[in-house]
Amino acid sequence: MTTISAQLMRIHERIAAACVAAGRAPGAVRLLAVSKTFGADAVREAFDAGQTAFGENYVQEGIEKIAALADLRARIQWHMIGPLQSNKTRVVAEQFDWVHSVDRLKIAERLSAQRPAGLAPLQLCLQVNISGEASKSGVPPADVADVARAVAALPHVVLRGLMAIPEPADTLDAQRAPHRALCELFVALNARGLALDTLSIGMSADLEAAVREGATMVRIGSAIFGARALRPVPSTPPAAA
């Protein structure tokens, strides 16, 4: 068994055990394999082991992998999970299936306007700054309801749920607190009539806490692919003589 295959198996075992501990069905949580900084060969290896949903943080890197794995396009689901600037929305709208990092209405509006008519609607999650960190992107919790209603009304996109990257914590109880707060927002939005089904929370270090608090999708990278590879630094052209 390859290393990636073995790691995928271990992650599925962790997810299943966390679901049992939380009293949830083992299939209640989907795995998103975060392949940022790893090449197309690693993605293909994970695909061959049964993984079909992959998350990318960097637009250009993701686009290059989508092109390199064009033969698998109909069977792979590509998720943009990293920060998204306005000038990158068109290529994301054209190439990806999901965007988890919608942190303001303007981004959703651009994705909606730029989604090609021949493609299925783009699936969106609102990124919520659930821990209130100044360094993190995301919609403030107090503004989520208004932004969610506006996004849900847009054409060519479907609002599926909420995403967050909570502040790291050392204990299970401390990890659970921000996940619980996000889940409470999720429940409140559904009570207001929004048909949301996705809570994109939980990574390698806090998977169990996220599942305990209602995660429906966990984003796992290093525990599948290994230590992060360094992104290549663009070369600087020589100064003109």
Domain spans in the chain, listed from the N-terminal domain onward:
3-225
Task: Please give, one letter per residue, the 3-state secondary structure of the chain.
Answer: CCHHHHHHHHHHHHHHHHHHHHCCCHHHCEEEEECCCCCHHHHHHHHHCCCCEEEECCHHHHHHHHHHCHHHCCCCEEEECCCCCHHHHHHHHHHCCEEEEECCHHHHHHHHHHCCCCCCCEEEEEEECCCCCCCCCCECHHHHHHHHHHHHCCCCEEEEEEECCCCCCCCHHHHHHHHHHHHHHHHHHHHCCCCCCEEECCCCCCHHHHHHCCCCEEEECHHHHCCCCCCCCCCCCCCCC
pLDDT score of 131 = 86
Radius of gyration of the chain (CA): 18
pTM above 0.75, yes or no: yes
pLDDT score of 229 = 60
- Under CATH, to which class is 3-225 assigned? alpha beta
Say how far apart CA 28 and CA 212 lie, in whole Å. 11
Mean pLDDT for back-to-back runs of 10 residues, the chain (241 residues): 90 96 94 96 97 97 98 98 96 98 98 97 97 86 97 98 93 94 97 97 95 97 83 43 33
Two tokens, residue 213: 């608090």
